[in-house]
A and B are shown apart, each in its own frame.
Chain A
Amino acid sequence: MTLSNLPLLSMLIWTPILGGIWVLIAGDRQEETVKYFSLAVSFITFVFSVLLYCQFDASVAGMQFVEETNWISAFNIKYHLGVDGIGLPLILLTTFTTILVILAAWEVIENRISYYMCAFLILTGLMNAVFVALDAILFYVFWEAMLIPMFLIIGIWGGPNRVYATIKFFLYTFLGSVFMLVAFLYLYSKAGSFNIEILHDVPLGLTAQKFIFIAFFLAFAVKIPMWPVHTWLPDAHVEAPTGGSVVLAAIMLKMGGYGFLRFSLPITPDASLFFSDAMIALSLIAIVYIGFVALVQEDMKKLIAYSSISHMGFVTLGFFLPFAIVAATGENSGAIMGMEGAMMQMISHGFISAAMFLCVGVMYDRLHSRMIKDYGGVVNSMPYFAAFMMLFVMANSGLPGTSGFVGEFLVILSSFKASFWIAFAAALTLILGAAYSLWMYKRVVFGDVTKEAVAELKDINAREGLILFLLAIVVIMFGVWPAPVFDVMHATVEELITHVLQSKTL
């Protein structure tokens, strides 16, 4: 077997899962072994994803690295994997984040470390699988199975109110997903197949499309999350351990966006057109209203959680703008720009929100508080940390030169082609984002040291420095040179837009 015909996608799924099972069996007795082994597994998985990136042919719009075997032959359900320009960047994001999460847990997690590592490794495998599954039922199985490790992560290692938060998280996302399942079953009764590519082409009446769109909407809007079904996110984020918050914000939210691109838009294009104005309105509410909500938060994690919702508003805005742009200008180049901007926003937000949560985690490990008022003047005792955090806060507010700028800018630019007012509302985020991010930063990091505990804070150690340094590199690199992301997705997005703009009613 040569390097080029390895079943890379399966390896991306099963390496971390099998590694996780091994970690669980090894147990807590060999704590050091468990940690290094988990790190090695996550690194190997990352290497696989880089190999995948290197061998990916960016000029092809369709699925690559396709693997197909029978799984449940009685119903023609297949173990069918493939990756395209939309899934690939998200896989890289996933595998990269996993390394950080495992590093971040090193000395912090004290009880049941093997469970913790196992949960995250299995979670990684499942998340990779969600991004490559090409069979609707296979997708659903991974999508739901993912809830189990996350449920345990929040519930076992979370904060004081963790039980409420984790059950709310589970039931909320479960509620959304089961309707997606019913939609899949309905589609199967029409198309006779669960193959996603076949579902993309099955003709459907407008009424049916509307119902399917709503079912998908419930699943993905809860996950991403959109206003008004976002309420689980602040709770889950606040109570989750740092690693849990990072994975939630960096990857799990992206699955909602991925779902819109993979299912809602191509399977129900006419309903998407029908609902696009409503979707744009909801996105703008998320951007503006949730931005204001973030402004008044006193808990840093909650603030970042709301900022995530606001940023995800850009993603959904970018996804549903194409209809308005094409209606206004008659050409789809602006639409492609908007959608690529939204994709870029997903990737960039993955890195930035991970960095922000890790920063809060660094402070929380020292003072055991997430409240802004418990800090103040951190720069005096932790100068290196303050410098890193500065960069990430700037990126969060969309400073040019950081990755946070690229996505937002492209989405705002393309929304100008649709309507001035959409662009105007979206651009408010530049003010709001800067306001809540920088104001928090000011209150936490600058000012006089009034509290003794803050004065005694130790600056970041080498491990924490490494994590933040890796993220800083990525954030700046994609800020000045985003081409590696755009190149791989361009062909796929173009194809998607063409597909979405064609009616498929009966």
Chain B
Amino acid sequence: MNAELIIALPEITLVVLACMVLIIEAFNNDPQHTLTYWTAQASLLITLVLVFINCPGEATIVFNGGFISDAMSSILKAFMCGISFIVFLYSYEYLKEHQSLKGEYFVLGLFAVLGMMIMASAASLLSVYLGLELLSLSLYAMVAMQRDSESASEAAMKYFILGALASGMLLYGISMIYGLTGHLQLAEIAQAVASDSINRSFLVFGMIFLIIGMAFKLGAAPFHMWVPDVYQGAPTCVTLFISTAPKLAAFAMGIRLLVDGLLPLVSDWQSILMVLAVLSMGVGNVIAIAQTNIKRMLAYSTIAHVGFLFLGFIAGTEAGFSGSMFYIISYALMSMGAFGMIILLGRNGFEAEMLDDFKGLSERSPWFAFVMLCIMFSMAGVPPFLGFWSKWFVLKEVVSSGYVSLAAIAVVFSIIGAYYYLRIVKLMYFDKAESMTAIKSSKQMRMVLSVNGMAILLLGLAPNALMALCIAALAG
């Protein structure tokens, strides 16, 4: 086989498998969609295995400079597949319980994963855009999947319109950069920019549009307007999906564009990201306090976390980028657990999406209250949980790069943030339960959610391996 094709084997396999799942779904009358679900899961696992096998020793660029396979892309892809696997498991549970099971969820999910993988491996502006659109379009459709739900349709419209606007911005930025440098491939753009023969202010102008597009997709303030509405309006299983794996892809996009492509402009994008980071941490943490809907609260918490994610970029060093990668992976794990808990507590026709639904959980289910406690303290950044190390890592790199005052601002916001996470612990442990209905869910859901929660605790006690992995991903 052609050597170039082998490099992209995981993606190619995933396309084939996703199409297969689509066909199976079309000819399958099973109301439980068991076959669709399991083939979708199998596709993710097969892709995961191929990513492992394919893991390159060094960065290889193929397809005329459009596709890169390096340590970072492989690690991110592995996490994308693994996380999506668990997300599908939670979602299957949710969709079955709420009698809105549709096979399309998994098909669209697989295509979204494909889009993410392409983003992680993008070596040119064009492939960044292609991957992003594949991901976004799948997500729009997923949000709108419950046709009869008013809030979901509204969320989908908002998401689509603002997402399209963001794509427009991104494309405009891409065209500016292409026009100035004459290249689409990120490595060549970097060379052209470094050569100093191009007017810097035009470059920065184009770059700003790239950053705006990226900030939209990540949900950084002041481009965060869609996040709360979409998180709240979409079915919980879709919110769960949006808030986990695609964040890894957005991180990859940031690395590809800003580091691989525009590293020579580092001092310019640092100052822009600084504004975005401080705004995001401020808006996210402060507004989250006023929320009564936990999905909306977690949406604002995402915005705040994105602000922290930017800190690693602002550090402008390899270690800083590793910190961001560590941050986003830990965030995905925590977010997965939190939304998993919401799904676990929900029943047919009832979404446990209000904060009060967590009241007295420690009496109803001591174990899952403890799991949620781990997740909440972790999100607040309290040791010994994983979330502490992710904050620690980016803060450390920001301080080593000399931005001590930025770190001080960040920690102040993280204290404000701690309040609303503590409130959930308060509801679970200090308040009386309103009803003692037992939590009913399948064994596998309980098991995976428990593992999810314990991973957050255990990775917090021994974060070395994950840290080393993230450092290795971005070295060189």
Q: B399 and A186: CB pair below 8 A?
A: yes
Q: A182 and B429: CB pair below 8 A?
A: no
- Answer whether A141 and B404 are a contact pair too, CB < 8 Å, given A72-B464, A156-B429, A179-B411: no
Q: B396 and A167: CB pair below 8 A?
A: no
- Answer whether A148 and B382 are a contact pair too, CB < 8 Å, given A72-B464, A186-B404: yes
Tell me, in angstroms, the Cα distance from A181 to B430 when the chains sit together: 29
The interface residues of chain A lying within 8 Å CB-to-CB of B422 are 151, 167, 170-171
Is A74's CB within 8 Å of the partner chain B? Answer: yes
The interface residues of chain B lying within 8 Å CB-to-CB of A152 are 425, 429
Tell me, in angstroms, the Cα distance from A181 to B412 when the chains sit together: 12
Is A175's CB within 8 Å of the partner chain B? Answer: yes
Contact partner of A182 (CB less than 8 A), chosen from B382, B407, B423, is B407
- Answer whether A71 and B399 are a contact pair too, CB < 8 Å, given A181-B392, A181-B411: no
Interface membership of chain B positions 379-417, coded 1 if the CB is closer than 8 angstroms to chain A and 0 otherwise: 000111000100010011001100010011001101100
Tell me, in angstroms, the Cα distance from A75 to B397 when the chains sit together: 11
Is B202's CB within 8 Å of the partner chain A? Answer: no
| Most A Cβ at <10 Å: residue of B384, B399, B463 | B399
The interface residues of chain B lying within 8 Å CB-to-CB of A188 are 396, 399-400
Tell me, in angstroms, the Cα distance from A135 to B265 when the chains sit together: 38
Is B22's CB within 8 Å of the partner chain A? Answer: no
Tell me, in angstroms, the Cα distance from A170 to B381 when the chains sit together: 13
The interface residues of chain A lying within 8 Å CB-to-CB of B200 are none
Summed over the interface, the residue pairs from A and B with CB atoms below 8 Å come to a total of 87
Is A58's CB within 8 Å of the partner chain B? Answer: no
The interface residues of chain B lying within 8 Å CB-to-CB of A178 are 411-412, 414-415
- Answer whether A182 and B426 are a contact pair too, CB < 8 Å, given A141-B383, A144-B382: no
Q: A156 and B407: CB pair below 8 A?
A: no
Q: Which of B99-116 contact A (CB under 8 A)?
A: none
- Answer whether A182 and B384 are a contact pair too, CB < 8 Å, given A171-B419, A174-B415: no
The interface residues of chain B lying within 8 Å CB-to-CB of A171 are 415, 418-419, 422
Q: A74 and B415: CB pair below 8 A?
A: no
The interface residues of chain A lying within 8 Å CB-to-CB of B399 are 182, 185-186, 188-189
A169 CB to nearest chain B CB (Å): 11
Is A163's CB within 8 Å of the partner chain B? Answer: yes
Q: A72 and B419: CB pair below 8 A?
A: no
Q: A182 and B464: CB pair below 8 A?
A: no
- Answer whether A182 and B463 are a contact pair too, CB < 8 Å, given A145-B384, A188-B396: no
Is B156's CB within 8 Å of the partner chain A? Answer: no
Q: B415 and A175: CB pair below 8 A?
A: yes
The interface residues of chain A lying within 8 Å CB-to-CB of B404 are 182, 186, 211
Contact partner of A170 (CB less than 8 A), chosen from B392, B418, B464, B468, is B418
How many residues on chain B are close to A (CB under 8 Å)? Answer: 31
Is A140's CB within 8 Å of the partner chain B? Answer: yes
Q: A145 and B383: CB pair below 8 A?
A: yes
- What does DSSP make chain A's interface, helix, strand, loop or mixed? helix
Tell me, in angstroms, the Cα distance from A186 to B400 when the chains sit together: 7
Q: Which of A136-171 contact B (CB under 8 A)?
A: 137, 140-142, 144-145, 147-148, 151-152, 155-156, 162-163, 166-167, 170-171
Category for how many chain A residues contact B: 20 to 34
The interface residues of chain B lying within 8 Å CB-to-CB of A182 are 395, 399, 404, 407-408, 411
Contact partner of B467 (CB less than 8 A), chosen from A74, A174, A179, is A74
Interface membership of chain A positions 199-236, coded 1 if the CB is closer than 8 angstroms to chain B and 0 otherwise: 00000000000010000000000000000000000000
A152 CB to nearest chain B CB (Å): 6
- Answer whether A167 and B419 are a contact pair too, CB < 8 Å, given A141-B384, A144-B383, A145-B384: yes
Is A461's CB within 8 Å of the partner chain B? Answer: no
Is B212's CB within 8 Å of the partner chain A? Answer: no
- Answer whether A181 and B395 are a contact pair too, CB < 8 Å, given A141-B383, A151-B422: yes
Is A73's CB within 8 Å of the partner chain B? Answer: yes
Is B471's CB within 8 Å of the partner chain A? Answer: yes
Is B377's CB within 8 Å of the partner chain A? Answer: yes
The interface residues of chain B lying within 8 Å CB-to-CB of A156 are 429-430
The interface residues of chain A lying within 8 Å CB-to-CB of B429 are 152, 155-156
Tell me, in angstroms, the Cα distance from A144 to B429 when the chains sit together: 20
Q: B396 and A185: CB pair below 8 A?
A: yes
Tell me, in angstroms, the Cα distance from A185 to B401 when the chains sit together: 11
Tell me, in angstroms, the Cα distance from A247 to B71 when the chains sit together: 49
Q: Which of B440-476 contact A (CB under 8 A)?
A: 462-464, 467-468, 471
Q: A163 and B430: CB pair below 8 A?
A: yes
Q: B464 and A73: CB pair below 8 A?
A: yes
Contact partner of B407 (CB less than 8 A), chosen from A151, A175, A185, is A185
Tell me, in angstroms, the Cα distance from A142 to B383 when the chains sit together: 8
The interface residues of chain A lying within 8 Å CB-to-CB of B467 are 72, 74-75
The interface residues of chain A lying within 8 Å CB-to-CB of B462 are 71
Tell me, in angstroms, the Cα distance from A186 to B401 when the chains sit together: 10
Contact partner of A167 (CB less than 8 A), chosen from B411, B426, B463, B471, is B426
Tell me, in angstroms, the Cα distance from A181 to B411 when the chains sit together: 9
Interface membership of chain A positions 32-56, coded 1 if the CB is closer than 8 angstroms to chain B and 0 otherwise: 0000000000000000000000000
- Nearest residue in B to A170 (C-beta to C-beta)? B422
The interface residues of chain B lying within 8 Å CB-to-CB of A175 are 412, 415
B88 CB to nearest chain A CB (Å): 32
Q: A147 and B382: CB pair below 8 A?
A: yes
A243 CB to nearest chain B CB (Å): 17
A23 CB to nearest chain B CB (Å): 13
Tell me, in angstroms, the Cα distance from A174 to B415 when the chains sit together: 7
Q: A179 and B408: CB pair below 8 A?
A: yes
- Nearest residue in B to A126 (C-beta to C-beta)? B384
B212 CB to nearest chain A CB (Å): 30
Tell me, in angstroms, the Cα distance from A72 to B463 when the chains sit together: 7
The interface residues of chain A lying within 8 Å CB-to-CB of B419 are 167, 171
B371 CB to nearest chain A CB (Å): 14
Tell me, in angstroms, the Cα distance from A27 to B471 when the chains sit together: 42
The interface residues of chain A lying within 8 Å CB-to-CB of B426 are 155, 163, 166-167
Tell me, in angstroms, the Cα distance from A224 to B463 when the chains sit together: 31
The interface residues of chain A lying within 8 Å CB-to-CB of B408 are 179, 182
- Nearest residue in B to A152 (C-beta to C-beta)? B429
B372 CB to nearest chain A CB (Å): 13
Q: A71 and B384: CB pair below 8 A?
A: no
Tell me, in angstroms, the Cα distance from A186 to B396 when the chains sit together: 8
B391 CB to nearest chain A CB (Å): 9
Tell me, in angstroms, the Cα distance from A83 to B431 when the chains sit together: 41
The interface residues of chain B lying within 8 Å CB-to-CB of A170 are 418, 422
- 5 closest A-B pairs by beta carbon, nearest first, are A178-B411, A141-B383, A185-B399, A189-B400, A155-B430
Sample of 13 further A-B pairs with CB below 8 A, known A181-B395, A182-B404 = A74-B467, A75-B467, A144-B382, A144-B383, A145-B382, A145-B383, A151-B422, A155-B425, A163-B430, A175-B412, A178-B414, A182-B399, A186-B404
Can you report 17 residue pairs joining A to B where beta carbons are below 8 Å apart? A72-B467, A74-B468, A75-B467, A137-B392, A141-B383, A141-B384, A144-B382, A155-B429, A166-B430, A171-B415, A182-B395, A182-B411, A185-B395, A185-B400, A185-B407, A186-B404, A189-B400
